[in-house]
């Protein structure tokens, strides 16, 4: 009973967070403008400090003099409130033009563009074709076959699909693909702007090849999971197939909504999928509103247009939401078959044995590489020890000549028969003493 309660609460909280986060659209632009103004004020303050450090002159600057003049004018205006000058009027108008800037609503504009592009062009063109173009063409053709209504019905049964295919190939498909491409760019911009407010700078996957592989694998997993949901819907058991398809789509749409946030956090695909599978009650409830909106029509193109219109709002909800974990004691491994199939496709259909052999080879190569690194480390350490020993030996050899010289001096002093007093005083051999010649005395 406790498990059912936790699962129900997880679904309810996910549903509430998906709807509540839409309100972020009304004040997220104000928060962005406030943060930008604070950064601009901080930048100006640092610039003033740098200028003051560069110009530490005691004389007042022109800016200070202008500030004092403005202060005097304000004091005079307070003393005489019923008078004003032309210059003050112009200054006020200039200051108002500089200071009063309209706040920029960047994210709201992006969401409005998505709604106009997908709802105004793609969806509206479908509605106009089905409700206006086809009835007008049908009425015009019926005027020529008014005498034979049966033949007109037979002709129209073949003509209507042909006209629909021509309209879809020449107008609807290019508009649909273009809107999808442009909307994806706007979706990324909306998600990044909302992420910078809450989390700061995005932490993307550093390696480009790893980033590209993650993108391709993610695209393949999402396509295969969508096909899996369609296959589940074909189950002959009443209501079971529809319920399973609804669960698949809810989890898939939750992945869409949270994917931008997790991607900016640096999460890889396997971590994102495991997080959804382990906390499936919350993400099931989070994806319910978007699933209900897209299932209101049987047309794939119309459903895609509805998805593109409301998806930016749920991106903001996903960025604002804090998922509830541990709501269920078991994980729902709905992505496991898709991941297995994607691995087979990326490995070109190789059996699992080959993958195991590759892992064994990689481990062997890793062990060999570690052994080589250990040998190189030992060689470097031995080289350092040899250099140290060589230096110590060179120091010993430098001290040896002094010791040998002392031994020679001791040996020579022992063997000499006529020692002199000066022999012990001089280090090197001195010339023989010459007899002193007395100088002639003056008489």
Q: Looking at per-residue confidence, does 207 or 221 come out higher?
A: 221
Q: Average pLDDT over the chain, rounded to whole?
A: 75
Residue 284: which pLDDT band, with cuts at 50, 70 and 90? very high
pLDDT digits (tens, 9 = 90+) for 159-206: 888 888 888 788 777 777 777 777 777 777 777 777 877 777 766 666
Return the H-helix or E-strand segment holding 75: helix 62-79
CB 17 within 8 A of CB 314: no
pLDDT digits (tens, 9 = 90+) for 377-418: 788 878 777 776 776 666 666 555 555 555 555 555 555 444
Please compute, for residue 439, the number of CA atoms within 13 A of its CA located in the half-sphere on the CB side.
Answer: 3
pLDDT > 90? residue 110? no
Q: Looking at per-residue confidence, does 86 or 146 come out higher?
A: 146
Cα separation, 198 vs 192, in Å, equals 10
Mean pLDDT of 323-348: 84
Least confident of 14-23, 331-340, 390-399: 390-399
> What is the predicted pLDDT for the residue at 87?
59
Query: What is the torsional sign of CA 154, 155, 158, 161?
Result: negative
> What is the predicted pLDDT for the residue at 429?
56
Question: Distance from CA of residue 164 to its chain's centroid?
Answer: 42
Q: Looking at per-residue confidence, does 147 or 290 come out higher?
A: 290
Cα separation, 260 vs 190, in Å, equals 10
Encoded tokens for 235: 């189950």
Residue 352: which pLDDT band, with cuts at 50, 70 and 90? very low
What's this model's pTM, rounded to 2 decimal places?
0.60
pLDDT digits (tens, 9 = 90+) for 314-328: 888 888 888 888 888
> What is the predicted pLDDT for the residue at 280?
92
Q: Looking at per-residue confidence, does 26 or 156 come out higher?
A: 156
pLDDT > 50? residue 104? yes
Mean pLDDT of 113-117: 78
Q: Looking at per-residue confidence, does 30 or 169 come out higher?
A: 169
> What is the predicted pLDDT for the residue at 98?
42
Q: From the CB of residue 222, how many other CB atoms can be counted at a distance below 10 Å?
A: 17
Residue partners of 106: CB distance under 8 A and separation at least 6: 29, 32, 193
Q: Of 225, 229, 227, which is closest to residue 217 (Cα–Cα)?
A: 225
Encoded tokens for 269: 């695909």
> What is the predicted pLDDT for the residue at 292?
92
pLDDT > 70? residue 441? no
Question: Distance from CA of residue 39 to its chain's centroid?
Answer: 22
Q: Which of 68-72, 201-205, 263-267, 417-421 has the highest mean pLDDT?
A: 263-267
pLDDT > 90? residue 435? no
Cα separation, 260 vs 318, in Å, equals 9
Farthest CA pair distance, the chain: 179
Query: What is the torsional sign of CA 299, 177, 202, 310?
Result: negative
> What is the predicted pLDDT for the residue at 354?
39
pLDDT > 50? residue 266? yes
Residue partners of 142: CB distance under 8 A and separation at least 6: 152
> What is the predicted pLDDT for the residue at 359?
56
> What is the predicted pLDDT for the residue at 196?
76
In the chain, the percentage of residues whose pLDDT exceeds 70 is 70
């Amino acid at each position: 009973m406790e498990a059912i309660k936790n699962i129900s609460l997880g679904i309810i909280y996910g549903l509430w967070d998906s709807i509540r986060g839409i309100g972020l659209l009304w004040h997220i632009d104000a928060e962005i403008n406030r943060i930008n103004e604070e950064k601009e004020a901080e930048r100006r303050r640092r610039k003033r400090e740098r200028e003051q450090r560069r110009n530490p002159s005691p004389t007042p600057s022109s800016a200070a003099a202008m500030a004092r003049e403005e202060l005097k004018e304000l004091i005079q205006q307070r003393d005489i409130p019923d008078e004003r000058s032309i210059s003050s009027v112009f200054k006020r108008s200039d200051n108002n033009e500089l200071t009063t800037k309209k706040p920029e609503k960047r994210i709201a504009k992006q969401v409005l563009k998505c709604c106009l592009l997908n709802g105004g062009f793609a969806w509206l063109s479908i509605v106009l074709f089905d409700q206006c173009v086809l009835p007008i063409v049908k009425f015009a053709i019926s005027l020529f076959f008014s005498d034979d209504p049966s033949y007109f019905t037979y002709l129209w049964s073949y003509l209507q699909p042909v006209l629909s295919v021509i309209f879809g190939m020449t107008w609807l498909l290019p508009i649909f693909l273009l809107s999808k491409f442009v909307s994806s760019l706007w979706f990324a911009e909306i998600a990044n702007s909302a992420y910078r407010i809450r989390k700061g700078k995005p932490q993307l996957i550093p390696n480009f090849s790893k980033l590209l592989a993650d993108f391709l694998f993610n695209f393949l997993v999402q396509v295969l999971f969508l096909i899996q949901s369609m296959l589940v819907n074909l189950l002959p058991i009443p209501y079971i197939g529809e319920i399973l398809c609804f669960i698949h789509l809810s989890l898939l749409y939750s992945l869409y909504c949270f994917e931008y946030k997790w991607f900016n956090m640096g999460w890889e695909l396997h971590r994102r999928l495991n997080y959804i599978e382990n906390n499936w009650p919350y993400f099931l409830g989070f994806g319910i509103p978007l699933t209900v909106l897209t299932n209101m029509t049987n047309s794939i193109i119309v459903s895609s247009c509805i998805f593109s219109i409301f998806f930016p709002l749920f991106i903001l909800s996903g960025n604002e939401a804090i998922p509830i974990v541990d709501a269920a004691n078991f994980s729902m491994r709905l992505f496991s078959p898709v991941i297995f199939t994607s691995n087979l496709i990326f490995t070109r259909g190789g059996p699992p044995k080959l993958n195991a052999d590759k892992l064994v080879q990689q481990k062997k190569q890793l062990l060999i590489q570690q052994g080589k690194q250990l040998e190189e480390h030992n060689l470097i350490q031995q080289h350092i020890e040899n250099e140290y020993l060589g230096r110590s030996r060179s120091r010993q050899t430098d001290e040896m000549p002094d010791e040998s010289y002392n031994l020679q001096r001791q040996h020579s002093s022992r063997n000499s028969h006529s020692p002199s007093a000066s022999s012990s005083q001089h280090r090197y051999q001195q010339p023989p003493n010459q007899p002193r010649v007395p100088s002639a005395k003056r008489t």
